[in-house]
């Protein structure tokens, strides 16, 4: 078929990636650049390489009988001998704000003794709130944030996190994760905004704006760190930090756009993917770290390695014969700072490499320039430690309410047979299952410590699912029998017996907290014991409300087929228990939508933006057939969609298509509705995706109320990356789908096709 192809006027992908407008903080760029240059001119090679060295808190601390403190001799060695520019992480578990003050003050006091008095930049994984400070406001993880489809909540959560991170005297946050949560096997999917590039980029830029504000240097904002650049989320095996195969075209179509937008939004730093793609470890990829990141994206901030990843170029990836060669490869590829993080070999090797001419002084100066510039932008030279009195709202009820709202809007109602939910408050409920009574299944990893295994201690004042239900309807109405641990049955007969005296069973299945490789699995099915528990309880004939508290969509098909209602909480954070209880008993109306496809079978893990070939036909019944689709979620009210209207039948380049749709609350209670706009290109030179999310909005409607939602679509929104890695919009027919409404239009181009000659 003859098709006219329009290559965006800018034709070249590079040109699409115009540099971001500078934000405040960056806007003083030239002044800061001059200061930085002046400082660099005074620095010795040792001082420069020290700035590029980041060590973990344990290197400068001692912990005796659980009491952590900065060790005078070790910090002296780090700063005065190695001129270390950055320290990260927590030693052991969360500190109080007061302890963070002592820690950061001791570090900065030592930095002030060094010849040039350059402050240290402290970094932390405040990835769903400031995770390592006791009493902080913990939000839902990114996967749940994405389920809200509410950018404002992401922005507010970012703002509060920044406030509380600065209240912990830390100016640098290793967040957000902008990885594509494409594979449910990957243990870090809960740290992502789900499987869709548009959802990731919109939620990602919202949270970055919240973190950085208009002036990243004020006392309430922090530098964001986009991670993990690039292609981390899709290892072939599904296991963390194992090889991925991702063609350049796919990389640019699905993985790169969130980073492009985040750079435009002004993100100050980036962390690199620990994995290897097509055999190339990203920490050694000059193409990724310099040609694409700097040449195309025009990113001017700090590129920090991930944990030990330079060393791993030798130890794990075997692309460097020695540790020293690994340092040479990584720094020459474009790494500015090494998260070493346990010792000083990076420092010693890099100095030798510069002396030997294997790494140029220009490359070192470039890296140090970026590091010092961010330190200036963060205001660290004037204010190396914040003022404890500046943060009265830390852990406040005002902040908690935002987390409540986020959890409430995230929790997703997937099934509600005969409107069994909401439940009445005067019924007898059996609460059962391994996730019912632990904060670990609400907070997940990165909560109070790396693995989140201290959540029940640190969040003891927060309600587990069981406690929240008890509080909601009174302890007398609630019985509790766990019935199973995460992977084995435990007194299942007691649960079955208790079910007989209950009106309803709230069965809480899912996962315990885990982080990174600790969360690797060999089987996407939930452990069999959990399904067995579901089957035993179903035999009682009592209605089962299945609650899934989990970081990724584990296969639950058998258990789920026996439930009367199914609710997904993801990792909804400290307020997740209360938010769930409010939804179960009708004090809140659910409005979450799945940000990932929920698979039905372990061998059918398609994303919603599958190819048409995966849609199956009469000869093929084993294609795309998820348990629940991306974007799916029910409410206690109903919404009617009508009057889908396009402003024109034909869209040309440089024109805007205005799309309107009327949404009406046709039920009896107030509700929020995420209105999702998908486009499908009917035919294109690359097999088009079946559909793609291009816009969304979240509205609130009273019973009987209608609103008209308006979206603007341009040629750019319809573009894809073609087989020569160019971003193009091809002429032809498109379908728009919102709710159950569809309309078609044509994209028209007068531009002569200029493709590569392939038919
Ligand atoms: C993780 C990063 C994290 C870093 C520092 C690494 O293991 O991959 O996401 O920011 O540790 O804690």
- Check whether residue 605 and residue 703 sit in a common domain: no
Which of 3-17, 291-305, 318-332, 352-366 shows the lowest mean pLDDT across its residues?
A: 3-17
- Check whether residue 32 and residue 149 sit in a common domain: yes
- Check whether residue 284 and residue 141 sit in a common domain: yes
Nearest CA residue ID for atom 8, ligand 1: 306
How many Å apart are CA 436 and CA 525, to the nearest integer? 19
Give the Å distance between the CA of 692 and the centre of ligand 1. 31
Nearest CA residue ID for atom 11, ligand 1: 307
What one-character DSSP code corresponds to residue 190? G
Q: Among 174, 175, 178, 188, which is best to mutate for testing ligand 1, by the most ligand atoms less than 8 A from CB?
A: 174
The response to whether residue 690 sits with its C-beta less than 6 Å from ligand 1 reads no
Q: What is the pLDDT of residues 646-666, one digit of tens each?
A: 999 999 999 999 999 999 999
Residue 623 pLDDT? 76
Mean pLDDT of 39-59: 98
Residue 99 pLDDT? 98
The response to whether residue 89 sits with its C-beta less than 6 Å from ligand 1 reads yes
Whether 396 is covered by a domain: the verdict is no
Burial class (CB in 10 A: 0-12, 13-18, 19+), 362: exposed
Q: What is the pLDDT of residues 19-44, one digit of tens each?
A: 334 444 444 458 999 999 999 999 99
Closest CA to 669 of 307, 421, 415: 421
Give the Å distance between the CA of 271 and the centre of ligand 1. 9
Residue 66 pLDDT? 87
CA-227 nearest atom, ligand 1:
9
Give the Å distance between the CA of 390 and the centre of ligand 1. 29
Give the Å distance between the CA of 127 and the centre of ligand 1. 10
Sign of the torsion angle spanned by Cα atoms 270, 275, 277, 280: positive
Which region holds residue 235: left if phi is over 0, alpha if psi is between -120 and 50, else beta?
beta
Looking up residue 667, the CATH number of its domain turns out to be 2.60.40.10
Residue 5: strand pairing partners: 730
- Check whether residue 682 and residue 596 sit in a common domain: no
Q: What is the mean pLDDT of the chain?
A: 94
Tell me how far apart the terminal alpha carbons of the chain are, to the nearest angstrom.
Answer: 9
- Check whether residue 426 and residue 556 sit in a common domain: yes
Whether 102 is covered by a domain: the verdict is no
The response to whether residue 308 sits with its C-beta less than 6 Å from ligand 1 reads no
Whether 373 is covered by a domain: the verdict is yes
Domain boundary among 583, 615, 647: 615
Residue 125 pLDDT? 98
Nearest CA residue ID for atom 2, ligand 1: 306
Q: What is the pLDDT of residues 64-118, one digit of tens each?
A: 988 999 999 999 999 999 999 999 999 999 999 999 999 999 999 999 999 999 9
Mean pLDDT of 39-67: 97
Please say if the pLDDT value at position 16 is more than 60.
Answer: no
Residue 86 pLDDT? 99
Nearest CA residue ID for atom 6, ligand 1: 307
The response to whether residue 306 sits with its C-beta less than 6 Å from ligand 1 reads yes
How many Å apart are CA 87 and CA 67, to the nearest integer? 19
- Check whether residue 374 and residue 474 sit in a common domain: no
Mean pLDDT of 586-591: 98
Domain boundary among 355, 378, 401: 378
Residue 21 pLDDT? 42
DSSP for 561-630 reads TT-SEEEE--S--TTHHHHHHHHHTTSS------SS-B-SSTT----TT-BGGGG-BTTB-SSS--SB-T
Give the Å distance between the CA of 372 and the centre of ligand 1. 22
Q: What is the pLDDT of residues 674-683, one digit of tens each?
A: 999 999 999 9
Q: Which of 114, 125, 306, 578 is catalytic?
A: 306
Residue 30 pLDDT? 83
Residue 751 pLDDT? 59
Whether 88 is covered by a domain: the verdict is no
- Check whether residue 580 and residue 653 sit in a common domain: no
- Check whether residue 477 and residue 601 sit in a common domain: yes
The response to whether residue 227 sits with its C-beta less than 6 Å from ligand 1 reads yes
CA-228 nearest atom, ligand 1:
9
The response to whether residue 174 sits with its C-beta less than 6 Å from ligand 1 reads yes
CA-89 nearest atom, ligand 1:
12
Residues 312, 315, 321: CA angle, nearest 5 degrees = 105
Residue 752 pLDDT? 35
| 515 neighbors 455 (Cβ within 8 angstroms) | no
Count of domains forming the chain = 3
Structural domain for 445, as ranges: 411-615
User: What is the number of alpha carbons within 13 Å of residue 119 lying toward its C-beta?
Assistant: 24
Q: What is the pLDDT of residues 622-647, one digit of tens each?
A: 678 999 999 999 999 999 999 999 99
- Check whether residue 195 and residue 144 sit in a common domain: yes
Nearest CA residue ID for atom 10, ligand 1: 174
Q: What is the pLDDT of residues 109-165, one digit of tens each?
A: 999 999 999 999 999 999 999 999 999 999 999 999 999 999 999 999 999 999 999
Whether 485 is covered by a domain: the verdict is yes
Give the Å distance between the CA of 516 and the centre of ligand 1. 9
- Check whether residue 646 and residue 727 sit in a common domain: yes
Under DSSP, is residue 708 helix (H, G, I), strand (E, B) or coil?
A: strand
- Check whether residue 445 and residue 495 sit in a common domain: yes
- Check whether residue 688 and residue 606 sit in a common domain: no
- Whether 306 is catalytic is yes
The response to whether residue 324 sits with its C-beta less than 6 Å from ligand 1 reads no
Give the Å distance between the CA of 325 and the centre of ligand 1. 23
Q: Among 178, 271, 446, which is best to mutate for testing ligand 1, by the most ligand atoms less than 8 A from CB?
A: 271
Say what angle helices 197-212 and 257-264 make with each other, to 10 degrees: 30
Looking up residue 369, the CATH number of its domain turns out to be 3.20.20.300
| 270 neighbors 298 (Cβ within 8 angstroms) | no
Beta strands in 398-540 (DSSP E): 412-416, 429-432, 478-481, 504-510
Whether 99 is covered by a domain: the verdict is no
Q: What is the pLDDT of residues 538-561, one digit of tens each?
A: 999 999 999 999 999 999 999 999
CA-177 nearest atom, ligand 1:
9
Whether 401 is covered by a domain: the verdict is no
Q: pLDDT band at residue 228, thresholds of 50, 70 and 90?
A: very high
Domain boundary among 582, 615, 648: 615
How many Å apart are CA 212 and CA 220, to the nearest integer? 9
| 111 neighbors 146 (Cβ within 8 angstroms) | no
The response to whether residue 641 sits with its C-beta less than 6 Å from ligand 1 reads no
Whether 63 is covered by a domain: the verdict is no
Which of 175-189, 374-388, 737-751 shows the lowest mean pLDDT across its residues?
A: 737-751
């Amino acid at each position: 078929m003859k098709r006219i192809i329009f290559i965006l006027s800018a034709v070249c992908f590079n040109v699409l990636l115009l540099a971001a407008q500078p934000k405040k903080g960056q806007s003083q760029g030239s002044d800061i650049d001059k200061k930085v240059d002046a400082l660099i001119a005074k620095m010795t090679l040792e001082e420069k390489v020290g700035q590029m060295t980041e060590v973990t808190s344990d290197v400068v601390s001692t912990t005796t009988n659980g009491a952590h403190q900065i060790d005078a001799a070790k910090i002296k060695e780090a700063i005065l001998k190695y001129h270390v520019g950055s320290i990260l992480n927590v030693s052991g578990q969360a500190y109080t704000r007061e302890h963070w003050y002592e820690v950061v003050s001791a570090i900065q006091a030592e930095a002030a003794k060094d010849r040039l008095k350059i402050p240290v930049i402290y970094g932390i994984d405040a990835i769903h709130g400031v995770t390592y400070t006791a009493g902080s406001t913990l939000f839902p993880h990114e996967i749940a944030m994405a389920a809200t489809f509410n950018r404002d909540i992401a922005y507010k959560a970012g703002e509060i996190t920044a406030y509380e991170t600065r209240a912990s005297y830390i100016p640098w946050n290793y967040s957000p994760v902008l990885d594509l949560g494409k594979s449910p096997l990957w243990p870090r999917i809960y740290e992502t905004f789900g499987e869709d590039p548009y959802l990731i980029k919109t939620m990602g830029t919202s949270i970055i704006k919240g973190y950085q504000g208009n002036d990243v240097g004020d006392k309430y904002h922090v530098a964001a760190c986009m991670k993990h650049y690039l292609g981390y989320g899709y290892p072939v095996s599904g296991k963390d930090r194992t090889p991925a195969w991702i063609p350049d075209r796919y990389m640019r179509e699905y993985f790169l756009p969130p980073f492009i937008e985040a750079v435009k939004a002004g993100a100050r730093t980036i962390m690199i993917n620990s994995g290897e793609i097509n055999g190339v470890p990203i920490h050694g990829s000059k193409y990724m770290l310099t040609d694409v990141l700097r040449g195309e994206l025009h990113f001017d901030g700090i590129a920090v390695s991930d944990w030990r990843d330079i060393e791993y170029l030798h130890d794990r990836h075997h692309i460097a014969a020695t540790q020293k060669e690994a340092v040479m490869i990584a720094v020459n590829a474009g790494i500015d700072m090494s998260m070493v993080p346990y010792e000083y070999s990076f420092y010693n090797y890099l100095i030798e490499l510069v002396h030997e001419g294997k790494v140029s002084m220009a490359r070192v100066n470039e890296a140090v320039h970026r590091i010092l510039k961010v330190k200036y932008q963060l205001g660290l030279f004037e204010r190396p430690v914040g003022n404890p009195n500046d943060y009265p709202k830390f852990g406040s009820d005002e902040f908690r309410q935002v987390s409540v709202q986020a959890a409430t809007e995230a929790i997703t109602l997937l099934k509600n047979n005969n409107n069994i939910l909401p439940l009445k408050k005067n019924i007898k409920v059996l609460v059962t299952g391994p996730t019912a009574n632990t904060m670990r299944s609400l907070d997940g990893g990165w909560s109070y410590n790396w693995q989140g295994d201290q959540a029940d201690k640190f969040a003891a004042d927060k309600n587990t699912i069981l406690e929240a239900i008890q509080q909601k309807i009174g302890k007398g109405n609630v019985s509790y029998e766990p019935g199973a641990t995460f992977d084995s049955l435990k007194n299942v007969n007691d649960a079955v017996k208790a079910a007989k005296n209950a009106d309803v069973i709230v069965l809480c299945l899912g996962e315990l907290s885990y982080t990174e490789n600790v969360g690797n699995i060999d089987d996407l099915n939930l452990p069999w014991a959990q399904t067995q528990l579901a089957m035993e309880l179903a035999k009682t004939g009592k209605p089962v409300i299945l609650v899934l508290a989990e970081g990724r969509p584990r296969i639950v098909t058998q258990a789920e087929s026996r439930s009367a209602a199914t609710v997904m909480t993801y990792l909804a954070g400290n307020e997740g228990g209360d938010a769930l209880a409010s939804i179960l008993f009708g004090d809140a109306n659910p409005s979450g939508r799945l940000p990932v496809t929920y698979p039905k079978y372990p061998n059918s893990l398609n994303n919603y933006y599958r190819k048409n070939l995966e849609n199956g036909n009469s000869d093929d019944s084993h294609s795309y057939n998820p348990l629940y689709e991306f974007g799916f979620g029910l409410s206690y009210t109903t919404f009617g969609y009508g009057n889908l209207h396009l402003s024109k039948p034909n869209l040309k380049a440089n024109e805007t298509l205005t799309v309107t749709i009327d949404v009406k609350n046709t039920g009896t209670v107030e509700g929020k509705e995420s209105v999702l706009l998908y486009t499908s290109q009917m035919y294109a030179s690359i097999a088009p995706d079946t559909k793609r999310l291009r816009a969304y909005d979240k509205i609130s409607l009273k019973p009987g109320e209608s609103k008209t939602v308006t979206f603007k679509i341009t040629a750019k929104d319809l573009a894809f990356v073609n087989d020569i890695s160019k971003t193009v919009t091809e002429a032809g027919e498109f379908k728009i789908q919102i709710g159950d409404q569809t309309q078609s239009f044509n994209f028209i181009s007068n531009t002569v096709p200029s493709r590569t000659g392939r038919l």
